[in-house]
Structure 1
Amino acid sequence: MTKIAFICIHNSCRSQMAEAWGKVVLGDISEVYSAGTEEYPEVKPLAVVAMNEVGIDTSEQHPKLLKDIPQKLDILITMGCGVECPYVPAKYREDWGLDDPSGGTIEDFRVTRDLIETRVNTLRDRILNGDIKDKLMD
């Protein structure tokens, strides 16, 4: 199975949402993880609320560090954190450049949630029949 990780600084919002969407959308074709480059005590409460609104319970998720996920990945997605991610071996990597809704309103979290959903669905299509598929074949 394809191993996919969504990486951010604190693993408390965008990467957690991406992991949750990934498990729903990509779970039949991949193992999905998320992690951060720095410790953080909890997933942002508004991220949990926003995901609950679409029927995805993330209340049991918790921030993880890079050391807590597999060290060899097929796909590494950074969320647009404005920080250089430490080297994690991956066959394919890209940055989604998403603004961090932390400190914003629930509407900001909803916008981010919906953008992530769209990108995860597109990622699925690209894995199954697009440009990423060829890069994963080695």
Structure 2
Amino acid sequence: MAKSRILVVEDEAIVAMGIKQKLEELDYQVIDIVYTGEDAVKTALETEPDLILVDIVLKGNMDGIEAASKIRKQLDVPIIYLTAYSDEEVLERARRTEPYGYIIKPFKKSELNANLEMALYKHAKDKKKSETLKKRF
């Protein structure tokens, strides 16, 4: 079975490398690490990853929530937020982008793996259900 291809969007280089290491230990393929919302949108559209891990707070003009929203309008890809923020306003903004998960930093490798597996599984089921409905009508 092919490794799931993950795009990491994280503006702290050391944190990004730690995430990459955890993902590779869990047998995922990190296709790229990008540091801004603008690069996240561009790279996601070019590479069409299986899943995107996005930090909510990013340097630059576009935060992770706005980047995820732009990506979701153009690609059917599950997004999981990684963040140190969990206040109600941030949660509400994130919720509107229909993420497949929301992980509070710092997190354990097992927590990351569980969220990834669930998101990939749920996305595959949702996609299959959608295709079945299209065939009926």
Provide the TM-score with structure 1 as the length reference: 0.49
Q: Rg bigger for which structure? A: 2
Q: Which structure dedicates a bigger proportion of its chain to helix?
A: 2
Provide the TM-score with structure 2 as the length reference: 0.49
